[in-house]
Structure 1
Amino acid sequence: MPKSERIVRLNYHWPEIQLNIWLIVVLSGSATCLGIFAWFMTVQSQMDLGTPWLFPFMVVSSALGVFFIFLVLGLIARRLLLPGILILGSFILFVLWLTGLIETALQLYGVVGNVNDNCQIYVTDNVSRGNNIDTLAWLTQLTICNCWKTAFAFEVVNCVFYIWMIVMSWQVHRDFYR
């Protein structure tokens, strides 16, 4: 390679602990929601019910979140992680997760869907015990109720963490030019 064609490698200084915490939390949230909404789709199919748009939407959003984390890990390994990639990817995923969060909130706490009230009335306040099919059905219903609440919680966490990554990436970018 001629001397005039030197490769210039930009070295951004990422806060390692914050980046690692972000990676672990977002990967956990994405993988959990991926499993929950995929299971919801299976339940709907098994019961011969239609699948609400939220379920495949969140499966795709969660899968994109997992893919994004592995992309970031690959870029970190090659020392090619740029703030712009994280800002753009985090913004896109934030919008997707916020959309899912709003719809999940409407289904969980809204006037029409109100899964939370139905869970309280028909499951939590109607405990079944013993070695019988009713107890097994109750445990399945309780699992579905808890999965809704878990998905909602992880959607909130992931939305906050995507905003955090946008801010952190902007700070890394800004500090590079100081």
Structure 2
Amino acid sequence: MAKYERRVRLNYHWPEIQLNIWLIVVLAGSATCLGIFSWFMTVQSTMELGTPWLFPFMVVSSALAVFFIFVVLALIARQLLLPGILILGSFILFVLFLTGLVETSLQLYAVEGNINSNCQIYVEDNKSRGNNINTLAWLTQLTICNCWKTAFAMELVNTVFYVWMMVMSWQVHRNYYHR
């Protein structure tokens, strides 16, 4: 007597362009945050200063996001991408990036002694020119200021994009069962 085994493969229909845009933007934002906060940790260590909790937190959160993107790409390649995986992963990363976004915004735009004001007063309003060590120091300070603003922007974009992915995944899930 022969046994027949029937395997059912769920075929969810993902909007390819939206999924690809999401993957590219989130990967770029996560890799940017990973690089910026890793560099901040190196600067703090080189200057023999303590490292604020935000820096390793965002390094780990960004690394998890990059890892998640590669898992999603592997699942796409094997046609095993399930909406539940993206909903859960996006929610976890949404919470992590929202936490980082709140702390970064507090550091960048707090009431007194914030990074943005200090950058404006001590760096952007005190331009240095010429082939000397002062210009090199000014360029490094300007880079640090711009990295803070870039990190804030990328955290904001990623936070919004994780919400978008949760909504899109829910729609894919809903459409599968309502066709």
Normalised TM-score (structure 2): 0.97
User: How far off its partner does 1:112 sit?
Assistant: 4.7
Q: Which amino acid aligns with 1:40?
A: F
Cross-structure match for 1:101: 101
How far is the alpha carbon of 1:94 from its aligned partner?
Answer: 0.1
Matches within 5 A, 1:134-173: 134-173=134-173
Distance of 1:111 and 1:41 partners within structure 2: 24
Q: Which amino acid counterpart does residue 122 of structure 1 have in structure 2?
A: Y
2: CA distance, partners of 1:111 / 1:133: 32
1:131 counterpart = 2:136: no
Mapped to 2, the partners of 1:52 and 1:151 lie a distance apart of: 15
Q: Give CA deviations for 1:47-99 in whole Å, capped at 9, x if unaligned.
A: 00000000000000000000000000000000000000000000000000000
Runs of 4+ in 1 over 6 A off after TM superposition: none
Q: In the TM superposition, what are the counterparts of 1:18-167 in structure 2 within 5 Å?
A: 18-167=18-167
Deviations 1:131-159 (CA, angstroms, capped at 9, x unpaired)? 00000000000000000000000000000
List gaps (5 residues or longer) in structure 1.
none
Measure the CA separation in 2 of the matches of 1:34 and 1:112: 27
1:12 aligned partner: 12
How far 1:2 moved relative to its partner? 2.7
* Alpha-carbon distance, 1:113 to partner: 4.9
Matches of 2:149 and 2:6, distance apart in 1: 54
Distance 1:133 1:52, change over 3 A: same
What's the % identity of the aligned pairs?
83
Aligned amino acid, residue 2 of structure 1: K
User: Match of 2:17, as an amino acid?
Assistant: I
Cα contact 1:108–1:114 (8 A) shared by 2: yes
SS in 2 for 1:48: coil
Please give the alpha-carbon distance, in whole angstroms, between the structure 1 residues aligned to 2:146 and 2:48: 22
- What is the one-letter code of the residue matched to 2:143? T
Residues 1:113 and 1:56: Cα distance change in structure 2 (over 3 Å): farther
Contact between 1:106 and 1:113, CA under 8 Å: does it hold in 2? Answer: no
Inter-partner Cα distance in structure 2 for 1:31 and 1:156: 14
What TM-score comes out, normalization by structure 1 length?
0.98
CA-atom RMSD in angstroms: 0.9
Unaligned 5+ segments in structure 2 are none
User: Secondary structure at 2:174's aligned position in 1?
Assistant: helix
The size of the alignment, in residue pairs, is 177
